[in-house]
Structure 1
């Protein structure tokens, strides 16, 4: 459901001030507000919705021709994002003045090809991803790229856009991330674990590794079976009663998970490592590296192109 957005120039100033004071609306950015409604959304979901509403507000506020790009376009396309962007990215035909809003990043020129999402002009999907790879921190770029490829985006088209730009800035890391990408990563957190492994100089894992067990076929998020390592990422929501419907029983889910792990361990001799968001970058890195044999750890070298995620 789309939130109702109020643009200041379209409403009476005193009524907006009163609504803001009584808490029925909240400010999105200068000159734009939205109706405030109770929400049970997780923090990341709420931040994403707010970022989308800010983009919609800017679209209504801008009078000149414009196209949303970079991570703003990625959000509009519904792409997988590691974090919600702090600024709004637009392409336009004119140079911004000194009084331009500080929460908007303006670039020129307008793209040759323009798509629309919900009647909002955006760069096409391949160009959006290419722009993000060149400008985002590498972890953010990898998360976005893995998700886009998993949703059917043609890697070749992204490469074409990366190479088409005249400026060299960001091209090397974009190429590197394209080589590192894997559409088998089914969530941002699986991309995160892969990124940590690449940063540490560990071997590349196989995603969605099939494991035949006495209880049936299972797929493990990430596997390095040659080195005796399997890894799975668990979202906290699976441990909450009712998270997937009124009948969902978290205790039953934990028990089924244990039976699954037991079956995988019996079949492979390896018990899966389990990661959650609470591990954080440092703990997750230590846990992952420690699981590998000593010779692999000693041979590993930090990848200078992939900074440690803060």
Structure 2
């Protein structure tokens, strides 16, 4: 049993009066109807509540079921671009008129599924195909990028896609665009903005051998002399990656790296950070400005790629101490 299972409380197994008292005292909080948990303290995980919701649904459902779509992707460990607002589940029977609105039910259990963290989920290929056919294309591309870097058979995914009726054209595009040598979700976002703007397909993780060592550039159009990188600002905070992590040294090392790449290739990479997601059109304009006039004139917004949605915001838990909830023995 995982720690999450121990702190998740299903109402039908406990005294209603005690649950009401503990909720009023803020010793527990509601996850969904009939499910509660001890509040998380200090977490920065934006998907924590969604995972709690999924675990609660699993423990409340009596019928056979398998989690799918972004719910399965979350269990696989994909760093999803948007936090799921519902839990997706496959069952033998479809949704009834009284089905909960926080669950998306689909009819039919898959022949092949896997178990991770004690949860039944669709296999990796099925999960990717479900996501690229139903999610916002940026979210679907994040899933496909992540999965391709962890052994997804692209050809098998394309074959499975052949049996679908909706979203197939866009899904084929996303599977074609997917790259395994990226670090989702932010590098995926940068590439998505560029391709949506009508720029040529970039090369990812361009290797650059310099006097200071071997480095890799996130996104590159080497023929046009354009380089772009996403800069995660957290690496410039002391202790960001554990005790003793020196942010000042990281900043110095990054300056050495960037100077060496610029010296070797004759061009300084464009840098983008998380706040740039507020203005993806501005990001596209900055990229386009680096290209020759003929490329800029030919660039057209890709008709299958809508504007990217804003990313999920990390939720920091309250630092206030709370009394520990204890059920009566």
TM-score if structure 1 supplies the norm length?
Answer: 0.94
Structure 1 contact 133–174 (Cα < 8 Å) conserved = yes
Task: Show structure 1 runs of 5+ residues with no match.
Answer: none
Q: Deviations over 1:152-173 (max 9, x none)?
A: 11112211221133xx211111
Partners of 1:291 and 1:202 in 2: CA distance = 11
Q: Deviations over 1:179-236 (max 9, x none)?
A: 1111111221111111111101101111110112121211111111111111111112
Any residues of structure 2 matched to 1:279-290 within 5 Å, and which?
A: 279-280=276-277, 281-290=280-289
Partners of 1:279 and 1:73 in 2: CA distance = 29
Q: Report the CA distance between 1:52 and its aligned residue.
A: 1.0
Structure 1 contact 7–61 (Cα < 8 Å) conserved = yes
Quick one: structure 1 residues 201 and 27, their matched pair in 2 at CA, closer, same or farther if it must change by over 3 Å?
same
User: Comparing both chains, which one has the higher relative contact order based on Cα–Cα distances under 8 Å and sequence gaps of 6 or more?
Assistant: 2
Partners of 1:289 and 1:11 in 2: CA distance = 60
Partners of 1:277 and 1:59 in 2: CA distance = 34
Partners of 2:186 and 2:105 in 1: CA distance = 31
Residue 207 of structure 1 corresponds to: 204
Residue 53 of structure 1 corresponds to: 52
Partners of 1:108 and 1:190 in 2: CA distance = 35
SS at match of 1:208: strand
Residue 251 of structure 1 corresponds to: 248
1:222 counterpart = 2:219: yes
Partners of 1:261 and 1:305 in 2: CA distance = 34
Q: Report the CA distance between 1:60 and its aligned residue.
A: 0.5
Partners of 1:293 and 1:108 in 2: CA distance = 52
Residue 108 of structure 1 corresponds to: 107
Residue 148 of structure 1 corresponds to: 147
Partners of 1:163 and 1:112 in 2: CA distance = 17
Partners of 2:242 and 2:282 in 1: CA distance = 32
CA RMSD of aligned residues (A): 1.3
Residue 295 of structure 2 corresponds to: 296
Task: Show structure 2 runs of 5+ residues with no match.
Answer: 310-329
Q: Deviations over 1:78-130 (max 9, x none)?
A: 12311121111111111322111000011111112122112221111111110
Residue 32 of structure 1 is aligned with which of 28, 31, 35?
35
SS at match of 1:122: strand
Aligned length: 304
SS at match of 1:254: helix
Residue 2 of structure 1 corresponds to: 3
Any residues of structure 2 matched to 1:112-151 within 5 Å, and which?
A: 112-151=111-150
Partners of 2:182 and 2:119 in 1: CA distance = 29
